[in-house]
Amino acid sequence: MKRFIILFAAFMLGIGLLMAQKKGGITSEMLNEIRQGYTGTPAQKAVKNALAQNSIAVLAMNADNAAMIDTHFSDRVPTKGITNQKSSGRCWLFTGLNVLRAKMIQTHDLGEFEFSQVYCSFYDLLEKSNLFLQAIIDTRNLDITDRKVDWLLSNPISDGGQFTGVSNLITKYGVVPKSAMPETYQSENTSEMAKILSQKLRQYALELRELKGSAIQDAKLQMLKEIYGILAECLGVPPTEFEWTRYDSKGNFVSTATYTPKQFYDEFVGADLNGNYIMVMNDPTREYGKVYEIEYDRHVYDGDNWLYVNLPIERIKEMAISSIKDGSAMYFSCDVNKYLDRTKGTADLANFDYASLFNTEFPMDKKQRIQTHASGSSHAMTLIAVDLDENNTPRKWMVENSWGAASGYNGNLIMTDQWFNEYMFRLVVEKKYVPQDIMDMLRQKPQMLPAWDPMFLPEE
């Protein structure tokens, strides 16, 4: 009996220690205090009743800001036609191609023109498959629970991306007009195809990790052949040669000729995408004036990782204004869904008043939002316009979007300069618009950042 009492006492002591170790839970006393957060005042009841029948965004819409933003812009790049990525994550590709088509239309006096996005998508997914498989081969001596291997297996493939994918893919494979390779259901609705490809790539990863010697590359080749077949069935077979008839901006016939994708690019675009552009970023969580590179953040295994110069927002605006004034559109990315009125097509901090709706505050600044995963770049668009006041200070900006002509403001989004400060992240700009001191920064050895940094998720 005495032994039982001792064991019981020890057991109860253990329970007590365990309870002490878990201090921090909600006690009944705390719950009584917490319940005071809702006391059923008339104002709280009114909000509760409204929220029972309406979305938060509808109720938070600021009636004092209901009027449409002035749509005049002091400086604008001429563009023709709005594209539509539909249910795919290819904003980065549409944006990059839209930058190039604006130049092509101006240079060659064309009417509306569109590059084939699915042509580039095909090779993007093929190259990403090879990138994944070769990365699995390169890391096969690491344990499968290693952070790098785990990240690869968690992210085998997606149709999201960024500008280095545009530059590396087009430099390697060229481009074709949309008429030479039109969209398919799968190219416009990519989720099912992505699941199939991901499943196959993860299966292949396990197989490759077990192989030795020359058998590894032989197996990879067979795997890529199977991936190619799936892509051809989903997206079509990319043309190696095609005929294209050119008309000028007035609809007059100019010529008909046969091209390879590389010949078409060289004749009608011809820009050095890898050497003529730089990416700049406004990330207040990292030191300005430094160059950063993101491991595995590329589309082509033998291509370039994403590399950028981190700069204060005002330096980025200087280059953006110079480019727009000279008629050159730019690749631009941001946290698009923050304070976005999709009906008007405006991004404005005054669009929604969540603080008043819930009688609270949202005081975090840009740096704090990034640090806490509350904000990050999510979508790429084409920066085409700025409205400057008499002091050459921007009031608002406009981007050409890829959500179709019926979305936003005639297919575009207008953002206030205050919104631009808070939610703009990346810009790709031609070197001729970059001041020399920023070009000098690119001589630094880049600081390598891990692929799993949440700031560098693919833009969709």
Give the pLDDT of residue 459: 76
91 is a catalytic site residue: yes
Return the closest-CA partner of residue 418 out of 389, 396, 401, 433. 396
Model's pTM, two decimal places? 0.93
Tokens 């690019």 appear where?
A: 265
Catalytic residue (choose from 234, 401, 410, 421): 401
Determine the distance from the C-alpha atom of residue 51 to the mean position of all C-alpha atoms in its chain, rounded to a whole number. Answer: 32
Catalytic residue (choose from 91, 120, 234, 334): 91
Is residue 212 classed as helix, strand or coil in its secondary structure?
A: coil
Strands (E), 129-276: 242-247, 253-259
- The string of DSSP codes covering 427-452 is EEEEGGGS-HHHHHHTTSPPEEE-TT
Domain chopping of the chain, boundaries:
75-456
Give the pLDDT of residue 21: 55
Catalytic residue (choose from 310, 351, 379, 412): 379
Low pLDDT (below 70) residues in the chain: 1-21
The CATH H-level superfamily of 75-456 is: Cysteine proteinases (3.90.70.10)
Determine the distance from the C-alpha atom of residue 354 to the mean position of all C-alpha atoms in its chain, rounded to a whole number. Answer: 26
Q: What angle do CA 141, 153, 168 make, to 5 degrees?
A: 95
Give the pLDDT of residue 46: 95
Give the pLDDT of residue 460: 78
Taking only the tens place, the pLDDT of each residue in 59-118 is 999 999 999 999 999 999 999 999 999 999 999 999 999 999 999 999 999 999 999 999
315 Cβ neighbours under 8 A, 6+ residues apart? 280, 435, 438
Is residue 341 classed as helix, strand or coil in its secondary structure?
A: strand
379 is a catalytic site residue: yes
Give the pLDDT of residue 53: 97
* Residue 174 to residue 167: CA distance in whole angstroms: 10
For residues 225-262, b (16+ Cβ closer than 10 Å) or e, as one string? eebeebbeebbbebeeebeeebeeeeeeeeeeeebebe
310, two tokens: 């981190």
